[in-house]
Structure 1
Amino acid sequence: MGAWGYGLFQSDADLDVADDISDEAGRLANDPDFTFSHPENHDTTVTKLNGGLFHQLLEKFQTKNWKHGVIYLGALSMRLGVKIAEEDMRVLKETLTRVRMYNEAKEQMHKGLEGYKSDGVAWDFKSPGVIETMQGMRPPGSKGFDLINVSQDFSRMPTPMPKDGEVEEDDKEMGVAVESGQASKKAAGKDALDDKAKVRAWFLF
C-alpha cells in the first residue's frame, strides 16, 4: 500500500477510508453512486450532506468509535463546503485530540477546523496528489519518473471502518490535544523534517 506524503489524502490507505465513507453515505442515502471525491453533481451531493446525511454519518462513526472515520468525514465534507453545525464541529475537534495520525495531517486538520467557516465555501487542505508530488520532486533535466513512495508508520495510518456490531478500542497512548506555541511549532517542524527525510523516490533519466 503506497503513500506519497504525510498529509491528508496522501496515501492509498487514506483513499480507501474515503471510499469506505462514500460507500456508507451511499447506503444511508440510498444512492449507490454517491461519492465525496469529485462528485458528478457537487450541489446535489452537498445538499444531501447539509440535509442531515453528514450528521447521520458522524453519529454512526461515533457509535463505532471510529476516530479516523470521524476525522476523514469532516475533512471530505470541508473540501466540498458542507455546512457543519457547531456541535458537530466540537465533535471533530475533540476527536482530533484522540486520533493517531501523522503530524502533518493532524496539523492540516487542526488548521482547517480553526479556519473553516461552514458558510458553503470549500476548504483547501493543500495536499498534493501523487502526480503533482512526483512532478514537484523530479530533478532538473530528468525526462520522467518511475515510482515514489514514503516510509510508513502503520500505527499512524487510518484504520478501516469497524464491522457492524464492533467498536474500535481507544489507543491508551492518545488523548493529548494538538499543542500550540513556539515549542510545539519547533517540535512539529522537526517531525516534518524527519518525515520528509524518509522519502524514497526512483526516477528515470
Structure 2
Amino acid sequence: MGAWGHDLFQSDHDFDMVSDMGAEAGLDKLEEEAVAKANADGDADAEEHVYFSLLHPTHPDIVRQHLDSGVLVDLIKEKKAAMLAPPSKWSFLQDPCYAYVLLGACAMGLGCSLPAEYLIMLKMVYTEGGLMPGALKQMRKALFGPDGFTNGVPYDFESKSLIETANSMSDEDYKPNPFGYVGMNVIGPGGLFNTGMGDSSTSAVIKELRAQHAKPDACGGCGATAQANSSALMQCGKCKVRRYCSAACQKKHWKVHKKVCDPALY
C-alpha cells in the first residue's frame, strides 16, 4: 500500500480499489471480449495494447458507454448501500465511504453521466472517508469549481503518476537515505494505514445517513417511534424523510441533520 503523493490515484491503495471496482463493473470481461475480437481480426498483439479500466483505459469511449448503459448506476447503488450499512469488523481495511468517493472520481475522469443525487451525496460525504489533503482539494474543485466537473466531459484531476512524480523530483529530493535508497513513499490513504485524516467510522455525517437508512421510522433525536400522545411522528419539513417525536427533539438534532437534509437525495 505504498503512496507517492497526496493526490487521488497516487497510491497502491487507490489502484487496488480501482481494479476491484473495474472487475465489479464487468470491465475484465469486456476487455477479454475486445481482445478476442481483435485477435479474430488479425491483431495477434491485442492483449498488449487493449486495457479496459476505470482509470486511464486505452479505449475510454468504450468504457464510458459501458458504464453509462446502467452499469455505473448499479455500482453506485452497491457502494452507497455498503457506505450506509453498519460498519463491519473489516471496514478498517477499506473504508466504504472512500470507495464511494473514489468511484465518483473515476467516473468523472471518464466523463460519465453521473446522476444528480449522486453528485449531491458526493458533496456531502467526500470529506468523510479519509482522503489525503491533495485528494480533498481535487474533489472539492471537481464538485464545486471553478472549472469543475461537467456531466459527459472527461475531467482531469491532474494527478501525477509514479513515473511523472519521479521525473519531477529535484536534485535535493534525490538524496539517498543511509541505506543508499532514494525514497518516494508518503503515508498512504485510508484503511489499515490510517493517515489521521479521519474516516467514516467517526463521521457525524455518515452516522446520520446510516441512522436514517437503518431506522427511517424512528425519531432522529431520541429514537422513539411515536409522539408522547401516541400520535405518528412528525416529519422534517424540508427533506420529508427524517422523523421526530417533538419540536424539541427536532431542534436539538438539527445541528446534525442539517448536514444531510436535502430532498433531492430521497
Alignment TM-score > 0.5, same fold: yes
Partner of 1:83: 113
**1:95-134 residue pairs with structure 2 within 5 A?**
95-114=125-144, 115-118=148-151, 120-134=152-166
Q: 1:150 aligned to 186, 191, 198, which one?
A: 186
Deviations 1:131-178 (A, max 9, x none): 1111111318x7xx9542123462249xxxxxxxxxxx94124539xx
Q: 1:171 aligned to 198, 201, 218, which one?
A: 201
CA RMSD of aligned residues (A): 3.0
Runs (5+) with no aligned partner, structure 1: 158-168, 177-205
Q: Is the aligned partner of 1:10 residue 2:10? A: yes
Deviating beyond 3 angstroms after TM superposition, the runs of 4 or more aligned structure 1 residues are 29-34, 173-176
**Equivalent residue of 1:35, what SS?**
coil
- Between the aligned partners of 2:163 and 2:29, the Cα distance in structure 1 is 33
- Between the aligned partners of 2:115 and 2:26, the Cα distance in structure 1 is 21
**Equivalent residue of 2:26, what SS?**
helix
Structure 1 vs Structure 2: percent identity of aligned residues? Answer: 32
- Between the aligned partners of 1:174 and 1:26, the Cα distance in structure 2 is 34
Q: 1:53 aligned to 71, 91, 101, which one?
A: 71
Partner of 1:161: none
Q: Is the 8 A contact 1:100 1:174 kept in 2?
A: no
Deviations 1:113-134 (A, max 9, x none): 121110x221111110111111
Deviations 1:6-41 (A, max 9, x none): 1100111111111111111117x9636552133232
Letter in 2 for 1:12: D
Deviations 1:72-101 (A, max 9, x none): 111011111111121121122222142222
Partner of 2:37: none
Taking structure 1 as reference, are residues 136 and 174 closer, same or farther at Cα in structure 2, changes over 3 Å only? farther
- Between the aligned partners of 1:99 and 1:150, the Cα distance in structure 2 is 18
Deviations 1:53-84 (A, max 9, x none): 11110000111112112111110111111111
Partner of 1:64: 82
- Higher-Rg member (1/2): 2
- Between the aligned partners of 2:111 and 2:12, the Cα distance in structure 1 is 24
Q: Is the 8 A contact 1:97 1:174 kept in 2?
A: no
Letter in 2 for 1:131: I
Taking structure 1 as reference, are residues 88 and 173 closer, same or farther at Cα in structure 2, changes over 3 Å only? closer
Letter in 2 for 1:113: L
Letter in 2 for 1:19: S
Runs (5+) with no aligned partner, structure 2: 33-51, 84-95, 175-180, 207-266
Taking structure 1 as reference, are residues 64 and 38 closer, same or farther at Cα in structure 2, changes over 3 Å only? same
TM-score by length of 1: 0.69
Q: Kindly indicate whether structure 1 or structure 2 has the higher relative contact order, using CA contacts under 8 Å at least 6 residues apart.
A: 1
> Number of residue pairs matched?
163
